[in-house]
Amino acid sequence: MRFKFLTSIPFLLMTMVLIVVFFGNYFPLPFKEVALAVSMLCKELIIFLLPLIIFSFVLYGLTELQSESFRVVAILIPLVCLSNFAGFWTSYLLATPVLSNSSLKITEISRDNILNPAFVIQFPTIVKNDWALLSAIIIAFFNNFIKSPYITLFGKVASVFANILLKRVVCRILPFFIFGFVIKMQYEGCLTLIIKDYSVILCLVAVLAYGYIAFVSLALCKFNVREAFTKCKNLVESVFIGLVSMSSAAAIPSTITASEKNLEDPKIARFVVPAVANMHLLGDCFAIPIIACAMIISFGMHYPTPSEYLIISIKGVIAKFAAAGIPGGSALVFAPILIDNCGFSTEMVTAFITVYLLFDPIATSSNVFGHGMFAMLFEKVYKLVKRH
């Protein structure tokens, strides 16, 4: 039992972080560059495998539901919009009293040290994640009419193969994947910069985002604290991966595994988590408005009223469906909304994107936390609708 704990992924990841924090300054630069290159290579491999994993799990999940697949999609999209909208308004209502009573000043951010990888190997993008998702949905819908046993069998075989990829490939490379990115964060000093210069806003984003998702999870567990704690603990590994890699896509495999433990029906986790990974972004629903409102206060501009924020939040919910799966992608998509509705100048947009990138680990990790929570929410709503 003790050996199993010592070789568990959470223990290995935490050990790596502590080693880098305390001894990172003693590592030679070439070693750091190679470690980062290996991490980027692992990330490329995970991203390369993701379309296959998404396609397999979504196809299997929907073919198993058979005629229920129409109902699943009809519930999924509105529920994503409602959850994102609730996140936008929770951040606005809770953060406004804090921001309006604070003296905030966004200063220029600069990094003297940039760690570059020793080498870069990129895998080709054969199929994008959204096309893999869409094709799986179309095939499953088509199968509702023809009832082909071959498609159903193919979905089962693909799901088994995807599970093997998760357990035998992705889980095995996770420690190597994390190590280089932790070294990069330590070398560039971004964690120190966040704590020193932006601690108030960072803490506000983290407390509200994590707190809101944890509260919703508690409510979904009917306020059973022990059950909610266990389910949140299952998601710690995937949240940590999102924190250090700044990639919610890279955390999908781990989030699926954790959500399978949290749900009564594991099949739901296998298609819900990949399906919402790029459009259900609760962390961004907190990070983006809070950073933007802090910018508005810092530059002495008009703070948005509830009616003005209503328009911003509706546009923000729509923009979630266009968010790119890259660091800072959500900020780039949201920037035109701030220009049109808040009067942001080019200088302010640049500062906004820069600060968001600095906060990206918190935003991404809370996005991942939100994916796990949403899987629980979807299961509750789906079963409620099914009973009626």
Map the chain to HEC letters. CHHHHHCCHHHHHHHHHHHHHHHHHHCCHHHHHHHHHHHHHHHHHHHHHHHHHHHHHHHHHHHHHHHHHHHHHHHHHHHHHHHHHHHHHHHHHHHHHHHHCCCCCCCCCCCCCCCCCCCCCCCCCCCCHHHHHHHHHHHHHHHHHHCCHHHHHHHHHHHHHHHHHHHHHHHHHHHHHHHHHHHHHHHHCHHHHHHHHCHHHHHHHHHHHHHHHHHHHHHHCCCCHHHHHHHHHHCHHHHHHHHHHCCCCCCHHHHHHHHHHHCCCHHHHHHHHHHHCCCCCHHHHHHHHHHHHHHHHHCCCCCCCHHHHHHHHHHHHHHHHHCCCCCCHHHHHHHHHHHHHHCCCHHHHHHHHHHHHHHHHHHHHHHHHHHHHHHHHHHHHHHHHHHC
Of 312, 242, 249, 241, residue with least CA distance to 279: 249
At 79 the pLDDT is 92
For residues 115 and 36, the answer to whether their CB atoms sit within 8 Å is yes
Residue 176 CA: distances (Å) to CA of 6, 12, 79, 357, 360: 16, 10, 36, 23, 21
Can you list the domains of the chain with their CATH numbers? 2-387 (1.10.3860.10)
pLDDT band at 330 (very low <50, low <70, confident <90, very high): confident
∠ CA 17-23-26, rounded to 5°: 135
pLDDT at residue 68, rounded to an integer: 62
- Phi and psi, residue 105, nearest 5°: -140, 115
Tokens for 232? 């949140």
pLDDT tens track for 106-148: 554 455 678 889 988 888 877 777 688 778 878 877 887 777 8
What is the number of other CB atoms lying within 10 angstroms of the CB of residue 183?
23
Which tokens sit at 357? 């990138």
Work out the percent of the chain whose per-residue pLDDT is above 70. Answer: 84
Average pLDDT over residues 158-175: 77
pLDDT confidence bin for 66, thresholds 50/70/90: low
pLDDT at residue 20, as a whole number: 80
Q: What is the pLDDT of residues 309-319, one digit of tens each?
A: 999 998 888 77
Highest mean pLDDT among 53-67, 164-178, 252-266: 252-266
Segment 252-307, tens digit of pLDDT: 888 988 999 999 888 888 888 888 887 888 989 999 999 888 888 877 788 889 99
Distances in Å between the Cα of 230 and the Cα atoms of 221, 262, 281, 288 are 10, 8, 23, 29
Q: Is the pLDDT of residue 36 over 50?
A: yes
The structure tokens 């790119």 sit at 324
Residue 365 pLDDT greater than 80, yes or no: yes
The predicted model gives 148-177 an average pLDDT of 79
pTM exceeding the 0.75 threshold for the entire prediction: no
